[in-house]
Amino acid sequence: MNESLDKEDFDIMKEIWTVSALDGIRGSFYSKELNAAEKEIRVANALLYDTESIPVGEARIRSLLDGDTPMTHNEHLVSGYDRALTMIRRDYSRLDFNEKSLLSIHRVLFAELLCEKGKFRSGCENAMEFLFEDYNSKTTEALAYIPRTLENFARIAPFQDGNKRMQALLTNLLLLKNGYTAQLYVGLDGNAPLLPSLMHSYKELDRRYPIVENRKVKKRDRILHIIETSSEPVKKKDICACIPDVSIRTADVVLSDLIEQNKIEKLGSYKDARYIQV
């Protein structure tokens, strides 16, 4: 253990290592389901950064991610962020943490907007060069130095515009390059420190796509697992949001069956119905 590392952070890292060890087997068992989840996370990421004065909204974001042409400045921001994130997820193995890669990502982020892009602010070049050198001279486990790198990037704020989005994109890049993939399927809490947020993502990934005795778990059991592990009654739409490969129709059938078997209880009716473990 690195003595300079906070014990609480180290304990969180150990939890992440434990759950992330299942990445390979989970990916092979749930490839179709995880592909569906990844699309939903694209929407969630876009919503997270849809914070301009005139928000685009979820319905329009879904249309943009399905290929509709952006019409407004904010829609171009949403589309640009998704393009940059898609590029990182596709090409992270060849994108190093250096000036060339960051400027390339920034150009994609603002490709369709008339603004300064693909260029550091004047006076930031030396600070960024030091940041690259510091990261690339790492000697500890990735999770110990990625948060520091992101914090220093935020302090430098090297771009004229888009630093918050770039920090989020950089988070994805560094995690992927170091073998951590949970954020592809569950996402990260942008308001929480990185390690607790990543730990939550892995635990949530394990909850939604569990591996039991080296076997994939059926949809029925996954739905029951979601209800059993929830701290409060769960709506049907929330279950389907957690498990994107489960349709409303399938959820209806499974929930009715679980009620008949007295495994869960239905509270309320119609759109307000919630489900809880008996």
- pLDDT tens per residue, range 102-129: 999 999 999 999 889 999 999 999 999 9
Are residue 150 and residue 104 in the same domain, yes or no? Answer: yes
Distance of CA 234 to the CA centre of its chain: 22
Decide: 182 and 198 in contact? Cβ < 8 Å.
yes
Domain with 243, as residue range(s), is: 219-277
Decide: 88 and 97 in contact? Cβ < 8 Å.
no
CATH number for the domain spanning 30: value is: 1.10.3290.10
User: In whole angstroms, what is the distance from residue 49 CA to residue 71 CA?
Assistant: 17
Are residue 223 and residue 201 in the same domain, yes or no? Answer: no
- pLDDT tens per residue, range 140-177: 889 999 999 999 999 999 999 999 999 999 999 999 99
Are residue 156 and residue 251 in the same domain, yes or no? Answer: no
Of 178, 208, 238, which closes a domain? Answer: 208
Are residue 79 and residue 145 in the same domain, yes or no? Answer: yes
The separation between the first and the last C-alpha atoms of the chain, rounded to the nearest angstrom, is 44
Give domain status of residue 268, yes or no: yes
Model pTM greater than 0.75? yes
Are residue 224 and residue 182 in the same domain, yes or no? Answer: no
Say which DSSP state 214 is in.
Answer: T
The pairing of beta strand 211-212 with beta strand 215-216:
antiparallel
User: In whole angstroms, what is the distance from residue 250 CA to residue 218 CA?
Assistant: 12
Q: How many domains does the chain have?
A: 2
Are residue 169 and residue 260 in the same domain, yes or no? Answer: no
Give domain status of residue 269, yes or no: yes
Instruction: Name the band, by pLDDT with cuts 50, 70 and 90, for residue 52.
Output: low
Give domain status of residue 104, yes or no: yes
> In terms of Cα–Cα distance, which of 172, 165, 179 is closest to 76?
165
Q: Is residue 41 over pLDDT 70?
A: yes
